[in-house]
Amino acid sequence: MAAVRTSSEIALNRVAIVSVLIATLIFLAPIYWIASTAFKPKELAITVPPTVLFQPEITPFIRLFTKRVQMQKAVDPQVYEAAPWWEKRIYDGGERVLKVGKDVQLSQYPNRFMNSLIVAIISTVLAVGMGTFTAYGFSRFKIAGEADLLFFILSTRMLPPVVVAIPMFLMYRLVGLNDSHIGLIILYVAFNLSFSVWLMKGFMDEIPKEYEEAALVDGYTRMQAFFKIVLPEAATGIAATAVFCFITAWNEYAFALIMTNRRAQTAPPFIPSQIGSGLPDWTTIAAGTFLFLLPVAIFTFLLRNHLLRGVTFGAIRK
């Protein structure tokens, strides 16, 4: 490579930077749209052309978390005065918050969100854990038919999962797993496991087996060597695999829609179901979607260093 860059190289570099910026803007536009709609007054959500400058408000989030009904007549001014600030916002929209006695009734959203967290976290832990052990086995031991077994594991991903949705639904109903957390967790672990095994095998192969051999000679059992030496070394791979598995489980829509309807329903099928009839309340839906985006963003952000190393792992010979 030339030590001094020519003017054409500098120009090319600038073009590249501008292109990347444009692409970034295009990719971020839908996210901005959702995020901004989540803070818009109801009537601004549907203006054409879209409103860009507005006074942000959190009323969509209040609506998202509360159970409400349309009011037939205007609210009693005394009741309105006595209401807390957030309830006034609901009254302002011509609705009232449902209550049992004095307790505000929450919407289904927190519950669905919690379902998503439970299912995604547990299925990720299981898929990554099992994948790590399996990958270690494949990476370190001579296994009869290793290539065939690995291919078989991968082959579970060759079919779009939704193809088996109907038979799965019938089987689940038969054994009573439909609309249960454990049912969804089993499904997501099954989806993610092959991916987890293959990804982790790549990482395991990169960890020199001399590390464990050194530990074995140093007086440790293989299991101890695995936990004390291999796992810390595989942290990057585990983090990268966990992010991918979490995203898959968190975003999964089709099976969640088919397999769950109440108790174990996750956020993805729930959010669009709130569009309802009549004029859709886009701001509330946007608020639900916006909150739904946060866990993945936070999770990915926390593991960003591992991820960066993870996706380039093995590319450079150390």
Where does this chain bind other proteins (CB under 8 A)?
Answer: 208, 210-211, 213-221, 224, 229, 232-233
Nearest-approach distance from CB 226 to other proteins, in angstroms: 13
Output phi, psi for 93, to 5 deg. -85, 10
Pairing type for strands 68-70 and 103-104 reads unpaired
Nearer to other proteins, 102 or 142 (CB): 142
Nearest-approach distance from CB 186 to other proteins, in angstroms: 34
Nearer to other proteins, 94 or 208 (CB): 208
Nearer to other proteins, 135 or 207 (CB): 207
Nearest-approach distance from CB 315 to other proteins, in angstroms: 18
Single-letter code of the amino acid located at 257 = L
Nearer to other proteins, 157 or 222 (CB): 222
Nearer to other proteins, 219 or 278 (CB): 219
Nearer to other proteins, 92 or 218 (CB): 218
Nearest-approach distance from CB 222 to other proteins, in angstroms: 9
Nearest-approach distance from CB 38 to other proteins, in angstroms: 42
Nearest-approach distance from CB 206 to other proteins, in angstroms: 12
Nearest-approach distance from CB 232 to other proteins, in angstroms: 4
Nearer to other proteins, 108 or 224 (CB): 224
3-state secondary structure the chain: CCCCCCHHHHHHHHHHHHHHHHHHHHHHHHHHHHHHHCCCCHHHHHCCCCCCCCCCCCHHHHHHHECEEECCCCCCHHHHHHCCHHHHHHHHCCEEECEECCEECECCHHHHHHHHHHHHHHHHHHHHHHHHHHHHHHHHCCCCCHHHHHHHHHHCCCCCHHHHHHHHHHHHHHHCCCCCHHHHHHHHHHHHHHHHHHHHHHHHHHCCHHHHHHHHHCCCCHHHHHHHHHHHHCHHHHHHHHHHHHHHHHHCCHHHHHHCCCCCCCHHHHHHHCCCCCCCCHHHHHHHHHHHHHHHHHHHHHCHHHHHHHHHCCCCCC
d(CA 178, CA 146): 35
Nearer to other proteins, 184 or 215 (CB): 215
Nearest-approach distance from CB 253 to other proteins, in angstroms: 39
What tokens were used for 94? 């011509």
